[in-house]
A and B are shown apart, each in its own frame.
Chain A
Amino acid sequence: MYAQLVKSEGMKSAAELSPQERAFQDRIDRGEKIEPKEWMPEGYRKTLIRQIGQHAHSEIVGQLPEGNWITRAPTLERKAILLAKVQDEAGHGLYLYCAAETLGVSRDQLLAKLHDGSMKYSSIFNYPTLNWADIGAVGWLVDGAAIMNQVQLQKTSYGPYSRAMIRICKEESFHQRQGYDIMMKMAQGTAEQKAMAQDALDRFWYPALMMFGPSDKDSVHSTQSMAWKIKINTNDELRQKFVDQTVPQAEYLGLKIPDPNLKWNEEKKGYDFSEPDWSEFFEVIAGNGPCNKERLGARVKAWEDGAWFRDGLLAHAEKAQARRAAARVAAE
């Protein structure tokens, strides 16, 4: 669930669709996959670029809060697992930028938009990781929420995105397990470790619920995205599913979800729960979260500091090509 508030194009009624648009919608309705070279409405292409791009950016910014604890991981095994996980995330970023490239936008173009603030990444990565249990909570809750969304997106209508999701989901479920495993150790550990685990849950619970985005029952954007099968479930459906899955896991850990209104509702066969503070969500999206400046600043600095490196590789490639060409001429 690394794409929030993705703007879609306005929904057209069936009567307003051109014959070409009608045929496209029919293909989607039949469950066919759309492939890169095929015709697609401009709105479909643009919405996908926004959604896949935001998802890719989330993967690479997402390296930072976890990377924050790699050098302080408490055992060699935990360090190795965390390194492997963060490496996977960079890899997910790579597949997703490749999927976006099939829609005619380069990775550099998308990064330029991330760096100038015109494209976003998931709000969750603007929260700090303050103790070791946060690394557990990120795996358990953040990756758990991400999986909720990504499992559905395996069925998304755009072929390259769907295939990227299938690969990513396999790795994400390992991530979630390792996060829960850290939480188990902490929750069953010393009083201090248990306190860290509870503190992590207290701080990450509502930001995790926010990952699904505000209620979209009235959103025109969501309706169009769902018609195009770029989005499969509503934000509220996914949030409910996440809460229902997570509450028993917290109980098993002996941790308390920080919501006095949390209660099983027999009628709907799900939990009733408090909404997160949406004003906080919009502040974070607007750049006022606890870590927005550090996160984006770190990415911009990495990009700017790395310019000489990228230029150097490019210059070498050009020289090597010129040398090969000269050798060919000399041989002829």
Chain B
Amino acid sequence: MASAGIAVDRAALFEFLTRMGDNTLILGHRVSEWCGHAPVLEEDIALANTALDLIGQTQLWLGLAGEVEGKGRNADALAFLRDAAAFRNCLLVERPNGDFGQTLTRQFLFDAWHHVMLTALTRSADPRIAEIAAKAVKEAAYHLERSSDLVIRLGDGTDESHKRMQRALDDIWSYVGELFIADDTDRAMVEAGIAPDPASLRLEWDAIVSEVLREATLKAPTSAYVHKGGRRGVHTEHLGYILADMQFLQRAYPGATW
């Protein structure tokens, strides 16, 4: 079921939609691990809120992915009954939470990409995608505002907070590049006017990130090395554990309704 009037390979569209939905699902999972353990009560609330937004977006992306696939799988079937190799999230979002600085840095680097990507998707030739993006981009704008603000305050806070933020940036940086590398799926999306070329988002992402890092007195790492694989299903060891946790009930009690 390709969308009305747009000629696009259904498998490629499904692939694209699972990339969007798996990113939000896995990041939402990671963020939700903080529940009750944040450094201040306001952060407990904000992290739960962020996770909630991301899980809500997952329902939309994976719901549409299931429809496009046309094999009777809904968002829950895709989230809870695929194994790691079928997941299409980027490696960045499966990075462990680490300290709050690691979590925040991962969030900020993702939010900057997410906001630029969703903004472009609001102009998608597929109206269903444009509609999801229009809803999600408002949430992503808020996430980016919040994570940017905290990166600035902690980068330019105490020596200790600065050191932790710089270390987080150095650790995570090499997991970002994957988001900007185009493959055949992306080219099919570009051709159908459904999604932008990932590489085209880099300039705007760089502008957002470098401005925030400047204010935060943090230095962008110079290493150009990029870890990649998540978007084609080759993940880090961490994803298997995330899924073991997330999918436990659905796997242990097949066919039950909850």
Contacts and interface: CB of A to CB of B under 8 A. Distances in A.
Contact of A76 (B75, B162, B245): B75
Given A74-B258, A84-B52, A312-B158, A302 B37 contact: yes
A302 B253 CA distance: 34
A63 interface: yes
Given A71-B245, A83-B32, A306 B38 contact: yes
A75 B41 contact: no
B253 A308 contact: no
Nearest to B29: A71
Nearest to B21: A76
A167 interface: no
A47 to B, nearest CB: 24
A75 B55 CA distance: 11
Interface stretch (B3-11, B43-51, B137-145, B205-213): B43-51
Nearest to B44: A90
B257 interface: yes
B99 interface: yes
Contact of A87 (B29, B45, B75): B45
A315 B258 contact: no
B161 A79 contact: no
Given A80-B52, A83-B51, A185-B258, A97 B37 contact: no
B76 interface: yes
A107 B157 CA distance: 22
Given A67-B36, A90-B41, A308-B164, A192 B253 contact: yes
A22 interface: no
B48 A90 contact: yes
Contacts of B37: 67, 298, 301-302
Contact of A310 (B40, B44, B51, B246): B40
B248 interface: yes
A87 B52 contact: yes
Interface of A is mostly: helix
Contact of B79 (A71, A72, A76): A76
**Interface size class for chain A?**
35 or more
A86 interface: yes
B250 interface: yes
Contacts of B246: 71-72
Interface in A277-332: 298-299, 301-303, 305-317, 319
B55 A83 contact: yes
List 3 A-B pairs, minimum CB-CB distance, nearest first.
Answer: A306-B39, A312-B161, A312-B157
27 contacts: A60-B44, A71-B33, A75-B76, A80-B55, A84-B52, A90-B36, A90-B44, A94-B41, A94-B42, A94-B45, A185-B258, A186-B258, A190-B253, A190-B256, A192-B256, A193-B256, A298-B37, A301-B37, A309-B39, A312-B153, A312-B154, A312-B157, A313-B157, A316-B153, A316-B156, A316-B157, A317-B153
Given A87-B45, A190-B256, 18 more contacts: A64-B36, A70-B32, A72-B248, A72-B249, A79-B32, A80-B59, A84-B52, A86-B35, A97-B41, A192-B256, A298-B36, A306-B40, A308-B160, A309-B43, A309-B101, A309-B154, A313-B157, A314-B157
Interface of A: 60, 63-64, 67, 70-80, 83-84, 86-87, 90-91, 93-94, 97, 107, 132, 182, 185-186, 189-190, 192-193, 298-299, 301-303, 305-317, 319
